[in-house]
């Protein structure tokens, strides 16, 4: 791919920190680019626009899909990646984040940061002079949800007008789904127990945006109402990294919100089931549904690679 055509999704921001920072046009262009890249990858004709580029990966949380897909993607696109364990660089011995970010900006062309606090990610973006991509925070997971939008588009041929029901804990995945649904004209219904609702500020933002895109954003404690007539059912783990001490309380509160065969029957007959993985079978989702014909979780995982390749080209291919 020629250098002049590597940024087809028209990125105007240095960093990718949230879905809310993107426009609907930008998201649509990223989906189109991911589809093109997937076709070329499967035909073993992946373009190599990132030759000579290096991506740094700074992870404070364990990872399978995020790390492997970014590393594989950089390799496929002609670049290389460096995994920087946060416990094994000088940051862990007292060097300031500001100093580390400025030094790394002299060595690599972009950073993927996987951390706990969204403000830590924002600090990386503030001090780094290179693009910073959110590999996951406690607040949001934009790369995952951009790939999910790609998956839904592949399966349903559209986004606007669809209903997506998210069932379970109102976590980082929920937040990014709310932002994405509001921007792309999808009806998003979140079913969660009292006390486990998504951040109200993000819900308010999404509902305000939904007025402009003529869709609905709603949060309910009734999982059956949430999934009624849904085109997409989505769930995620109930106990995220850092919440292990809350396990007993969370399991008790969230058990009625399992995505199982009974709940799936309340959605549309052709609804697809999504889970960003890793899954805890028998907790947030039954094995029968996870392995069933309506689940698209493996395609979701594969689509991380192609969407993140589009992101890498868009943010690093300058």
Residue 187 is a catalytic residue: no
CA 136 to chain centre: 8
The catalytic position among 26, 41, 65, 114 is 114
CA 69 to chain centre: 13
3-state DSSP assignment of residue 234:
strand
Contact 167, 226 (CB under 8 A): yes
Residue 143 is a catalytic residue: no
Structure-block tokens of residue 35: 């589809």
Contact 206, 183 (CB under 8 A): no
Contact 7, 124 (CB under 8 A): no
The catalytic position among 276, 300, 306, 308 is 276
The catalytic position among 169, 236, 258, 306 is 236
Residue 7 is a catalytic residue: no
Beta strands in 13-102, from DSSP E residues, in sequence order: 54-59, 80-85
Q: How far apart are CA 113 and CA 101, in angstroms?
A: 11
Residue 304 is a catalytic residue: yes
Residue 276 is a catalytic residue: yes
Contact 306, 276 (CB under 8 A): no
The radius of gyration computed from the CA coordinates of the chain, to the nearest angstrom, equals: 19
Residue 141 is a catalytic residue: yes
Provide the annotated active-site residues. 114, 141, 144, 236, 276, 304
């Amino acid at each position: 791919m020629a250098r002049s055509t590597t940024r087809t999704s028209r990125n105007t921001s240095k960093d990718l920190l949230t879905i809310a920072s993107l426009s609907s046009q930008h998201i649509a262009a990223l989906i189109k680019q991911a589809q093109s890249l997937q076709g070329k990858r499967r035909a073993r004709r992946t373009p190599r626009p990132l030759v000579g580029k290096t991506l740094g990966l700074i992870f404070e949380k364990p990872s399978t899909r995020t790390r492997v897909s970014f590393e594989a993607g950089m390799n496929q696109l002609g670049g290389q990646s460096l995994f920087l364990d946060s416990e094994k660089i000088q940051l862990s011995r007292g060097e300031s984040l500001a100093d580390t970010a400025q030094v790394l900006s002299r060595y690599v062309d972009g950073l993927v940061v996987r951390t706990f606090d969204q403000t830590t990610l924002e600090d990386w973006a503030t001090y780094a002079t290179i693009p910073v991509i959110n590999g996951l925070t406690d607040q949001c997971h934009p790369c995952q949800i951009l790939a999910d939008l790609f998956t839904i588009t592949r399966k349903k041929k559209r986004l606007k007008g669809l209903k997506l029901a998210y069932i379970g804990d109102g976590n980082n995945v929920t937040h990014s789904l709310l932002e994405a649904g509001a921007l792309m004209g999808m009806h998003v219904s979140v079913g969660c127990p009292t006390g486990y609702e998504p951040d109200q500020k993000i819900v308010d933002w999404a509902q305000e945006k939904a007025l402009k895109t003529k869709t609905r954003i709603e949060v309910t404690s009734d999982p059956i109402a949430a999934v009624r007539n849904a085109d997409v059912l989505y769930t995620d783990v109930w106990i995220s990294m850092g919440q292990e001490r809350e396990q007993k309380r969370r399991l008790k509160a969230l058990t009625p919100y399992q995505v199982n065969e009974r709940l799936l029957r309340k959605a549309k007959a052709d609804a697809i089931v999504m889970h960003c993985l890793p899954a805890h079978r028998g907790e947030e989702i039954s094995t029968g549904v996870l392995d069933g014909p309506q689940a698209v979780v493996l395609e979701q995982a594969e689509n991380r690679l192609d969407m993140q390749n589009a992101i890498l080209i868009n943010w690093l291919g300058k």
